[in-house]
Structure 1
């Protein structure tokens, strides 16, 4: 092959091709090199199909050649023929298993096909064969992050950065992983490292702004996203994020303006539509808000559970089977299950698939014909919809929300002796259940959760007894509060939402931040005081002390971001102003 390369070096392309073809005929059934060289020449000249044909012929002559299969795979991958590329890469690995580059390329092919699990396996094999393969660590981290395996992803992002410490792309993606996993302080530090390396990195500015806002630092967030827009004034996502931050600060007119600018730049951006929907719903503009809210199902990572079957058609629902499935959080399911009653009243047969933790609680809801577990076979149906499509489908507005409570009930005969012992049916105390934190996996949990110790002022009010309903947080949170006032821990006895409902039904009041527990108390018709931060959640609307969703709910709102003392002072005042508690409360 030396002569071929000499001819190529002299620019004698035709003679090089002729000689190479001759060598393929003479030696091509013994050696893969002539075919690889001839394919490379054709590829360099832009004759990609001829190049692939050479390699295919070479593979026929040398079926055990890993390199021929690899080169054919690379050509197919570049041409977008991913099925063929995958097949050739796998054939190459059959011939020679320990090829880290081929495992890596196959992983990239799987990523292009959105097959994250297989991509993960390929990159895992790559780093096992070559631990110093920085790109494999970075792509493995990406595949893990997109599967929400954030902790494992972090390990590989950090490994990649040890190999390439100043790689902006890896550092930026590492920052995304930290923010996606709710590690906001670490994400902030990581984004600032990106900006130290590149002060003009507009995407990092935008992402940092979101992280700051999710920590309640809205003014800082607004400032840095405006800096990002000064660098890239045509980015719809920057305008959309600015709109969300302005909403959290109560600047509604400016927020709407930014959302409209975002949608003018990117009319089909699902994320922009979704954030716009949240602000419209917050403002009580339900008609337009529900329409925009449909876009959530097109946001990456939030696709509809089923797309091949027709959505619910209310005009043709009588006698039809309707499959409704849960989406989003536990609180969302508790809040919106009420709409299944409306489907039943129109004559539908209702199948509902909730989250596993809610199966037992919803088993007694009389407007469900069939309750099925997630992951089980779905019975035949005529129409389907995600649960949160139903309010828009029924045209709900503030005045027409179905708010007959209670619509969920505790078991008629609780059988938990521990709860019976802690909460006898009669008591001379005023019993308050408390919740101070939501799920740590929620990106804005840091601004909706409050310090547990704030409840101590309420615990010292005469005749008040505090009962912790809090789950999913470090035990030290409760211990800090118990050091300040007596608190009985009920949550350790909860195994599901059914016995939680039994406990709540025996309390006189529930005080909670914005969590599923508040929804459960509201659905049970129990008095509930909701402590709301300034970064308002759309369902609680603006400047209200009540909720059209739950008539037994009262809202206590922050006046400034991060200021929990004001709502707690208001609640203490309300408790002190209550009439004297009778000797026995039933």
Structure 2
């Protein structure tokens, strides 16, 4: 096979999504002609998509060695270095790419993301704005600028830009006009989910406002959340499948997570979620038998392992359980999934209550939370549920928190009963857990004195 045929075969395989096979063809092409920079460029991009970061770095290093003025290679090298957590070096690569090609919106956008992680917030804002100056329809830059504003507490401005996410994710488009804030008097609207459980729990606060404005509201939500909503006897219909929907019934559709960008105020009543009375009573009896008067604390130490930031937001059980030395507490496990087994293996049954095996959905979890004195959790859906129920919640945050938790503050705009415990050193949970244990000891002692 001729060299040009090998390259063309590799390109065709890449276009069809067969990335591993495509990479093999480009390796063959490089072996035949190791002096062609564009071959390393193609291979490096494929290796990024395959999460082979070290090999990708070598490829872009070869491009730069062969073609020192290759702005695109510096941009991709920045992408690799940022992924490997070499942020200062990544910033240098992005700056070099922009120096070589000033009108390079993608590199400016990437540099903005890097500068945000480096806590250079004003420079990050300018990078995003410059990217949008060169390419106004670069919606990823709009979205990232929105998350920056939200992180900085500029909520109204942030939500407007955050809503750009729907235009660059095709799967969210529907054959119903998207609601842009028009009057809903006499009209029906479909509110649909498009992010994770925690995101939906966060923005349910705005659904009652829509229900008060429209003739009819249907909420299309994930199955594990459905019973929680239905048991509250809401003034809207709840469904979990597109098979239950007829587009002709709706005047508008809107993502639940777009509501903050469309409503005149971000204020909302809390609590706005609660447990059904029967479920609440069932768990009251179970916990009363187990607690023997102890202070009841629900715990979650790990999130969904598929989450892109899970390695930063989750805590190992061995480290988390050091808090269990605090006396006067019944520790109630709300952790589901693979991590649940570590709690089950713990050897202090008199002080540990494993509720997780019965948590079939969020309605069941709400029944437990309603009977607790406190919830301590990492950034997960359970923390959102507890906050939305108005339950006292202590949230443990990594050094670089998600945008909604903003910066430095210990209180939370979204959940008045929530207290934030932040890492002061990146990756160091031990200091956070020590502060939590100290605060918990004080809280339990104060509760005992009051009684």
Structure 2 length-normalised TM: 0.83
Report the RMSD for the aligned CA atoms in angstroms.
3.3
Counterpart of 2:267? 401
Counterpart of 1:429? 294
Asked if 1:318 corresponds to 2:193, the answer is: no
Q: Is the 8 A contact 1:433 1:468 kept in 2?
A: yes
Aligned to 2:258, which of 364, 369, 389?
Answer: 389
Between the aligned partners of 2:128 and 2:89, the Cα distance in structure 1 is: 20
Per-residue Cα deviation, 1:58-102 (whole angstroms, up to 9, x for no partner): xxxxxxxxxxxxxxxxxxxxxxxxxxxxxxxxxxxxxxxxxxxxx
Judged with a 3 Å threshold, the aligned counterparts in structure 2 of structure 1 residues 225 and 444 are, in CA distance, closer, same or farther, namely farther
Asked if 1:526 corresponds to 2:395, the answer is: no
Counterpart of 1:350? 217
Between the aligned partners of 1:207 and 1:480, the Cα distance in structure 2 is: 41
Between the aligned partners of 1:429 and 1:581, the Cα distance in structure 2 is: 13
Between the aligned partners of 2:93 and 2:317, the Cα distance in structure 1 is: 32
Larger radius of gyration: 1
Q: Is the 8 A contact 1:436 1:452 kept in 2?
A: yes
Q: Is the 8 A contact 1:350 1:367 kept in 2?
A: no
Between the aligned partners of 1:205 and 1:530, the Cα distance in structure 2 is: 35
Judged with a 3 Å threshold, the aligned counterparts in structure 2 of structure 1 residues 282 and 415 are, in CA distance, closer, same or farther, namely closer
Aligned to 2:17, which of 101, 125, 141?
Answer: 141
Query: How is 1:165-564 mapped onto 2 (pairs within 5 angstroms)?
Result: 168=40, 169-178=42-51, 187-199=52-64, 201-213=73-85, 218-299=87-168, 301-306=169-174, 308-314=176-182, 316-379=183-246, 380-396=249-265, 400-402=266-268, 404-414=269-279, 421=286, 424=289, 427-474=292-339, 478=343, 487-564=352-429
Between the aligned partners of 1:311 and 1:418, the Cα distance in structure 2 is: 40
Deviation at 1:203, TM superposition (A): 4.0
Deviation at 1:224, TM superposition (A): 4.4
Deviation at 1:459, TM superposition (A): 0.3
Between the aligned partners of 1:453 and 1:270, the Cα distance in structure 2 is: 42
Q: Is the 8 A contact 2:283 2:368 kept in 1?
A: no
User: SS state of the match for residue 440, structure 1?
Assistant: coil
Deviation at 1:288, TM superposition (A): 2.1
Q: Is the 8 A contact 1:427 1:584 kept in 2?
A: no
Judged with a 3 Å threshold, the aligned counterparts in structure 2 of structure 1 residues 480 and 545 are, in CA distance, closer, same or farther, namely farther
Judged with a 3 Å threshold, the aligned counterparts in structure 2 of structure 1 residues 432 and 203 are, in CA distance, closer, same or farther, namely same
Between the aligned partners of 1:455 and 1:577, the Cα distance in structure 2 is: 19
Per-residue Cα deviation, 1:261-319 (whole angstroms, up to 9, x for no partner): 111121110101100010112222223222212211122x35533255252544x2122
Per-residue Cα deviation, 1:27-59 (whole angstroms, up to 9, x for no partner): xxxxxxxxxxxxxxxxxxxxxxxxxxxxxxxxx
Higher RCO (C-alpha under 8 Å, 6+ residues apart): 2
Judged with a 3 Å threshold, the aligned counterparts in structure 2 of structure 1 residues 269 and 453 are, in CA distance, closer, same or farther, namely same
Between the aligned partners of 1:564 and 1:302, the Cα distance in structure 2 is: 38
Q: Is the 8 A contact 1:525 1:552 kept in 2?
A: yes
Judged with a 3 Å threshold, the aligned counterparts in structure 2 of structure 1 residues 194 and 365 are, in CA distance, closer, same or farther, namely farther
Judged with a 3 Å threshold, the aligned counterparts in structure 2 of structure 1 residues 499 and 449 are, in CA distance, closer, same or farther, namely same
Deviation at 1:584, TM superposition (A): 12
- Unpaired runs of 5+ in structure 1? 1-107, 109-132, 143-152, 179-186
Per-residue Cα deviation, 1:124-144 (whole angstroms, up to 9, x for no partner): xxxxxxxxx7666544435xx
Deviation at 1:449, TM superposition (A): 1.9
- Unpaired runs of 5+ in structure 2? 1-7, 32-38, 65-69
Per-residue Cα deviation, 1:132-188 (whole angstroms, up to 9, x for no partner): x7666544435xxxxxxxxxx66x56766786686642452232243xxxxxxxx43
Q: Is the 8 A contact 2:78 2:91 kept in 1?
A: no
User: SS state of the match for residue 413, structure 1?
Assistant: helix
Between the aligned partners of 1:559 and 1:582, the Cα distance in structure 2 is: 29
Per-residue Cα deviation, 1:480-509 (whole angstroms, up to 9, x for no partner): 8769x9754332332211111112222221
